[in-house]
Chain A
């Protein structure tokens, strides 16, 4: 197994796609649909990386990120959003300590490559 990934996205079909895509990459995945669920999941288990959608019902991805960083400075968290490369969102995510940022408007193959690159960089820093 390459990584154990927590996928946080409220769109069931997007979640399913990520699960299938990462299965092919030999990753183990657990998926949830809200920020609240994600925080509970993170308390229960340990993960190598979190793939976190920014726009979520309830608390937003940015708030989840802030919450994670309050207790864990090292866990790689990659933000993902349907808004594409929005400078404001990128700046905020960086300020809150994300490990990477991916737009859903990128071609899928590129998303996987970029994701793996971000995780590798983040783990090397540790």
Chain B
């Protein structure tokens, strides 16, 4: 319903009520405009002047729309506001409207309007009253709070190395934020209210969720290296920090989990461990090979001298057999020494594409291709050069290619892809469609004397590993049984 306001006819009446009303209206903290039915402003207050930065003569008897919307860009707002006013008149009821206006000095103000029709005794529209509250500052405050909220959300969701999730006292997940989705593969919607055990490795003897929560309840915090389980049942090694989740009254309402993904760290630790192990093994092997070489030299030397003696055929045959076996040991010791040796690199600028081209014809000399094997090359055309030892790198590629061939006794395909990795490394991938290597063997594949082949010495790949490490590069193997293997080698550009 409309507000009862003094009718225009009574405005000049000098009564106490009018005095009070005048005062009230004049000093109100809201814009007050009083319009006749044609939309001309009959009355305004101080606040109107201050917000619009107009004086009263610029307002009174002017059309309200021209006063409020004096710029050409406000056509839409002007029409909308006009419709609101007409609405309030047609339906004889108050209406609310919110819009920006430009004051005389071009400052934008956000005004929350209330439009009220003024009715006479016969319930006919006599005039309209507009009350406008300047909410510019309130809006700015709200916007900035909202911006902070938004940026906090963005900050949280940008942190991918940490998963942050919260569980309630029943151990059901109630919040799943920060890097949780990326790290654990679950969609927020799918995991909320699921039991926390879904994220933790039940087979991990060091991880008992109930005990950990009890510890946190009593002592406030717990930190543990644990294995988290992704949606696809993959294991993510993580450093887990569990904290109490308290409400504003300090009552425990759940637990906050912050998990740091340790995959890369573990990988690095493993590589360092591997490198140290290899270095120690190298030293041991070199020492052993030396000690074996001396007696071996004596045996073969004495055999050599016996060759000139007059001996019966049976003895000669046996000596031949001993000689061939000694020769076998000598070759093995040579391989060991080669693995152990910290040979100096003869460095030169090398294009890895050219090294591979040099190696490819050599494979055929190794009597490899009884079965049909197809080679597909995809070379980076503008490959920057690396600094490397040509012969040693040839040995690496030859070794890996021979392995690839041997893994495909019934034929298959070898893809050789070279690419520029992040402008830092020449990346060489050698991908075969062979028998593959079981995942349990992958971690040992570069260890000396480890071989999955019945006739392998287990030194080829460990020599490759050493050579690539000496070049400050990296070599990795991914493999799946019956799918094939992918070797990825990265060598730093000059």
Q: CB within 8 Å of B: which residues of A?
A: 11, 13-14, 17, 20-21, 24, 55, 81-84, 86-88, 91, 104-105, 107-109
Contacts and interface: CB of A to CB of B under 8 A. Distances in A.
A17 B343 contact: no
A83 B300 CA distance: 17
B123 interface: no
Contact of B297 (A55, A86, A87, A108): A108
A56 B244 CA distance: 67
A88 B337 contact: no
Interface in B100-149: none
B294 A84 contact: no
A105 B343 contact: no
B295 A83 contact: no
A24 B305 contact: yes
A33 B298 CA distance: 16
Given A87-B344, A108-B304, A17 B298 contact: yes
A32 to B, nearest CB: 17
B482 interface: no
B316 interface: no
Contact of A108 (B290, B300, B334, B344): B300
Say what secondary structure dominates the interface of chain B: helix
Contact of B298 (A14, A24, A84, A109): A14
Interface string B339-355: 00111100000000000
A13 B298 contact: yes
Contact of A82 (B294, B300, B303, B341): B294
B344 A88 contact: yes
Contacts of B303: 108
Interface of B: 286, 289-291, 293-298, 300-305, 308, 327, 330, 333-334, 337, 341-344
B386 to A, nearest CB: 21
B286 A88 contact: no
B329 to A, nearest CB: 10
Contacts of A88: 342-344
Nearest to B329: A105
Given A87-B343, A88-B342, A105-B334, A82 B293 contact: yes
A63 B466 CA distance: 30
A5 to B, nearest CB: 15
A108 B302 CA distance: 9
13 contacts: A11-B294, A11-B298, A17-B302, A20-B301, A81-B290, A82-B293, A83-B286, A88-B343, A104-B297, A105-B296, A105-B297, A107-B330, A108-B300
Contact of B291 (A81, A82, A91): A82
B337 A17 contact: no
B452 to A, nearest CB: 28
A91 B344 CA distance: 10
Contacts of B337: 83-84, 86, 105
A100 to B, nearest CB: 17
A82 B342 CA distance: 16
B289 A83 contact: yes
B457 to A, nearest CB: 15
10 residue pairs, one from A and one from B, having the closest CB atoms: A82-B293, A82-B290, A108-B304, A17-B301, A104-B297, A108-B301, A13-B298, A104-B293, A84-B337, A87-B343
Contacts of B308: 24
Contacts of B290: 55, 81-83
B289 A17 contact: no
Task: Give the most central of B289, B304, B305, B344: most A CB within 10 Å.
Answer: B304
Contacts of B343: 86-88
A24 B293 CA distance: 23
A33 to B, nearest CB: 13
Contacts of B298: 11, 13-14, 17
Task: Give the most central of B297, B304, B330: most A CB within 10 Å.
Answer: B297
A25 to B, nearest CB: 11
Contacts of B330: 105, 107
Contacts of B305: 20-21, 24
Contacts of B295: 13
B341 A87 contact: yes
A81 B294 CA distance: 9
Nearest to A103: B293
Nearest to B297: A104
Task: Give the most central of B298, B327, B334: most A CB within 10 Å.
Answer: B298
Contact of A84 (B289, B291, B342): B289
Nearest to A10: B294
A105 B333 contact: yes
Given A83-B286, A104-B294, A105-B333, 11 more contacts: A13-B294, A13-B295, A21-B301, A24-B305, A55-B290, A82-B291, A83-B290, A84-B334, A91-B344, A105-B293, A105-B297
